[in-house]
Amino acid sequence: MGPGPISAYPSVLRAMSAPLVGQYDPFMTATMAETQDLYRRVWATENDATLLIDGTSRAGIEAALVSLIRPGDRVLVPVFGRFGHLLAEIAERALAEVHTIEVPWGQVFPVSAIREAVARVRPHVLALVQGDTSTTMNQPLEEIGEICRAHGVLFYTDATASLGGNDFEMDAWGVDAATAGLQKCLGGPSGSAPITLSERAVEVIRSRARVEAGIREESDPDAADFVRSNYFDLGMILDYWGPRRLNHHTEATSMLYAARECARVLLNEGRAAVIARHRLHGEAMLAGVGGLGLGVFGDLAHKMHNVVAVEIPDGVPGEAVRSTLLADFGIEIGTSFGPLHGRVWRIGTMGYNARTDAVLQTLAALESVLRRFGASVPAGGGVAAAEDVYAATDAPGGD
Amino acid sequence: MGPGPISAYPSVLRAMSAPLVGQYDPFMTATMAETQDLYRRVWATENDATLLIDGTSRAGIEAALVSLIRPGDRVLVPVFGRFGHLLAEIAERALAEVHTIEVPWGQVFPVSAIREAVARVRPHVLALVQGDTSTTMNQPLEEIGEICRAHGVLFYTDATASLGGNDFEMDAWGVDAATAGLQKCLGGPSGSAPITLSERAVEVIRSRARVEAGIREESDPDAADFVRSNYFDLGMILDYWGPRRLNHHTEATSMLYAARECARVLLNEGRAAVIARHRLHGEAMLAGVGGLGLGVFGDLAHKMHNVVAVEIPDGVPGEAVRSTLLADFGIEIGTSFGPLHGRVWRIGTMGYNARTDAVLQTLAALESVLRRFGASVPAGGGVAAAEDVYAATDAPGGD
């Protein structure tokens, strides 16, 4: 019940035991094409360039940024948590001219702040996290695409923590590039990064200089426009996933199976239904920790559905509570980073863990452990508050 | 029965269905530590810096090269097949001054040629493929480490195609950095890249400038010494796998389980026994294709045990034979690249596919399909020749 990685859907775990096939076996290429089609529906996009990067969610971020950013490009990164800093760092390493704006942890940016910064910086790329698990905040993106189009800016967003558990509309919001991972609301293991690219983004990628196998004899390396990575060169990866099927890396077959099954689970239940389930169980968990008398960090109007930052009560040893929950109840909750380190636990309700039993058991266990460490908590207060949320909704409480 | 990816060991497929745990769960960190220890034995090394890169074998190559190579460094790449070109290309993208030497496909380098080139180029890094599936050749490495030490050169080798099926002695041969993948002789899926680094290599990596999250304000980016990638910055990845457990990416848990099981299978059977098994079944396959009257490409004295390049007879449609083998017998054999394209099939006997039944069934099926396409082949000649190899050895033919 941490902020991710989380327990995977059982069918996703099973999917990875399927036999491997050769990378140009017709079954393999058909599976790749099927997976692309499933993820178009997950992302709500018609982007042809919808595929997987073979690596963790961070690999997807880096593939997007190093392929879209030329050395010297201006990149604007609004930072509202740890993963905004990561985007800025990756853009730095790609030799971008990085500009940041910041809000305190626990807040998101008003649209006006992003509009002003885009107009002032006139970046080539706006790189903006959607959901940042470090603060639990969910940055509204609805109007950002329009701002970016008006200024000729490519709009990239990191939806790792949010996709599948919160609204996301790739095409309707005018996003040019987005990446995610399986280990949050998609309910799979870390190790495969869904990515989707608009035609504008693909045009930029296709305009980069190609590197052929062999030796660059004499050109000026600093001026050269090639992507500094082979593994993350989206131009080559698109040719591998596209109809040309040009050999690049050997696709990570078992992770492909996992990614396909994550999308199938989501689409079989229905995108809207899965998001509603995350909202429901997130609200139940939020009410439950309140019922235990615990405070919650951040602007609740902009909290992601799938994670809550719970303030550690004074005098309660936060790490001892976590390790007791794990040892005696088999339940993991998360620690936290940066300014929140030692101040909050992060409790997730995402993917397979967005379930009534998972929420109620976690609240009951947390109550028991808090009492063991001398905290004064209302008996049954967490479970009762969560049950009130379930009783008040028409939606089924389970999955 | 292609040149990889191959059918995985059944226990490796099962291992990926194990439940996920949080990335700082004691079980998770213990599993990471156990996997490091297993791979020290696989690589025959005492290197503390022995771990996995979360990506395919190509990700391992790129992590090693971008972390060891500073912009402007001289890198020597002896090229004897497709993957030598890949090493040169990745070094190019890392802004190295790349020098290559070449031999025709189907040959390896005499030690004298590498000694001469090292003395002439005086590279910072020698990057040399061990086994190149594109040509089936296995470059001898025994004396290369000594040459590199004498000239202060870091010695990197890509053992993706060879590790586990051919001799490899990290420490005894004086290799400074080596990477592999699971999808060849280790008998697992693509998507995790074992890597090991000598103390000399770690010193170079630790001497690179660190990039902290946040903004580089004014330094000269071209002169700066930081690794141009976050995902492949081995300094950070070592801190994640090491005792500090500093958060980097979220480890790809299911692929970690797969990698651990690949090493367990190998070590339970025994390193020497697994290599002997690859030698035996490779010899049987080689004899078998000879028994069918087919020619074999390349210098057989330096062929990898685990793959053979079989010349396509005149008048036989190579791709139709491959697709018929797949459709009617469920057996995949490989096509080929570059100068060998259309000239040879590549048949693998590696990992789980290095088995008597796999060899004999492939030879019988190939005979049947060749005859269907009008080739004149000795009846039973392939199977009989392979059986002679099995009969002549004391080792059991199966696994």
Provide the ipTM. 0.95
From B5, B19, B95, residue closest to A23, measured CB to CB: B5
B213–A contact, CB cutoff 8 A: yes
Separation CA A339–CA A351 (nearest Å): 27
Output the CA–CA distances (angstroms, integers) from residue B107 to A215, B79, B303, in the order listed: 21, 10, 9
The residue that leads in pLDDT, B1 or A225, is: B1
How many pairs of residues across A and B have Cβ atoms under 8 Å apart? 229
Least-confidence region, from A83-97, B8-22, B25-39, B385-399:
B385-399
B326–A contact, CB cutoff 8 A: yes
Q: For residue B248, what is the nearest residue in chain A, using CA coordinates?
A: A58
B352-358 average pLDDT score: 97
Q: Which residues of B touch A232 (CB under 8 A)?
A: 229, 231
B98–A contact, CB cutoff 8 A: yes
From A85, A191, A226, residue closest to B191, measured CB to CB: A191
A55–B contact, CB cutoff 8 A: yes
Q: For residue A25, what is the nearest residue in chain B, using CA coordinates?
A: B332
Question: What are the residues facing A158 on neighbouring strands?
Answer: A129, A179
Residue A215 has pLDDT above 50, yes or no: no
Residue A44 has pLDDT above 80, yes or no: yes
pLDDT cut 90: percent of chain A above it: 91
A224-248 average pLDDT score: 93
Pick the residue of B79, B254, B336 with the most A CBs within 10 A to test the interface with A by mutation: B254
Given this model, what pLDDT does residue B211 score?
Answer: 80
Residue B203 has pLDDT above 50, yes or no: yes
A237-258 average pLDDT score: 95
For CATH 3.90.1150.10, list the domain ranges present in chain B: 271-392
A37-50 average pLDDT score: 98
- Looking at every residue in chain B, the average pLDDT score rounds to 95
Is A19 in contact with B4 (Cβ distance < 8 A)? no
For CATH 3.40.640.10, list the domain ranges present in chain B: 10-267
Given this model, what pLDDT does residue B88 score?
Answer: 97
Residue partners of B223: CB distance under 8 A and separation at least 6: none
Residue partners of B55: CB distance under 8 A and separation at least 6: A54, A55, A59, A231, A249, A252, B63, B191, B192, B193, B231
Separation CA A136–CA A132 (nearest Å): 6
Q: Assign B160 to helix, strand or coil.
A: coil
Pick the residue of B57, B255, B335, B346 with the most A CBs within 10 A to test the interface with A by mutation: B255
Is A189 in contact with B98 (Cβ distance < 8 A)? no
Residue A212 has pLDDT above 80, yes or no: no
Residue partners of B289: CB distance under 8 A and separation at least 6: B296, B308, B310, B347, B363, B366, B382
The answer to whether domain A10-267 has CATH 3.40.50.1370 is no
Is A332 in contact with B8 (Cβ distance < 8 A)? no
B232–A contact, CB cutoff 8 A: yes
pLDDT cut 70: percent of chain B above it: 95
pLDDT cut 70: percent of chain A above it: 95
Residue A365 has pLDDT above 50, yes or no: yes
B18–A contact, CB cutoff 8 A: yes
Q: For residue B218, what is the nearest residue in chain A, using CA coordinates?
A: A97
Distance from CA of A222 to the nearest CA of B (A): 7
Residue B218 has pLDDT above 50, yes or no: no
Q: Which CATH superfamily is domain A271-392 in?
A: Aspartate Aminotransferase, domain 1 (3.90.1150.10)
B297-309 average pLDDT score: 98
The residue count of chain B comes to 399
Residue A270 has pLDDT above 80, yes or no: yes
Given this model, what pLDDT does residue B231 score?
Answer: 98
- CA-based nearest residue to B257, from A251, A52, A13, A193: A13
Q: Which residues of B touch A223 (CB under 8 A)?
A: none
A327–B contact, CB cutoff 8 A: no
DSSP B232-287: T-HHHHHHHHSTT----S---HHHHHHHHHHHHHHHHH-HHHHHHHHHHHHHHHHH
Q: Which residues of A touch B7 (CB under 8 A)?
A: 19-20
Given this model, what pLDDT does residue B398 score?
Answer: 47
Separation CA B80–CA B88 (nearest Å): 12
pLDDT band at B23 (very low <50, low <70, confident <90, very high): confident
Residue B346 counted as an annotated binding residue: yes
Q: For residue B188, what is the nearest residue in chain A, using CA coordinates?
A: A20
Is A294 within 8 Å of A363 (Cβ atoms)?
A: no
Separation CA B57–CA B46 (nearest Å): 22
B24–A contact, CB cutoff 8 A: yes
Given this model, what pLDDT does residue B372 score?
Answer: 97
Half-sphere exposure of B265 (CA within 13 A, CB side): 25
Is B13 in contact with A13 (Cβ distance < 8 A)? no
Residue partners of B256: CB distance under 8 A and separation at least 6: B31, B32, B35, B52, B192
Residue A234 has pLDDT above 90, yes or no: yes
By the 10 Å C-beta count (0-12 exposed, 13-18 middle, 19+ buried), A57 is classed as: buried
Q: Which residues of A touch B94 (CB under 8 A)?
A: 228
Given this model, what pLDDT does residue A217 score?
Answer: 42
Residue pLDDT, tens place only, A10-35: 999 999 999 999 988 999 999 999 99
Given this model, what pLDDT does residue A318 score?
Answer: 97
Given this model, what pLDDT does residue A220 score?
Answer: 54
A4–B contact, CB cutoff 8 A: yes
Pick the residue of B250, B346, B352 with the most A CBs within 10 A to test the interface with A by mutation: B250
Q: Assign B179 to helix, strand or coil.
A: strand
Given this model, what pLDDT does residue B210 score?
Answer: 83
Given this model, what pLDDT does residue A167 score?
Answer: 98
By the 10 Å C-beta count (0-12 exposed, 13-18 middle, 19+ buried), B98 is classed as: buried
Distance from CA of A255 to the nearest CA of B (A): 7
Is B20 in contact with A6 (Cβ distance < 8 A)? yes
Separation CA A290–CA A298 (nearest Å): 14
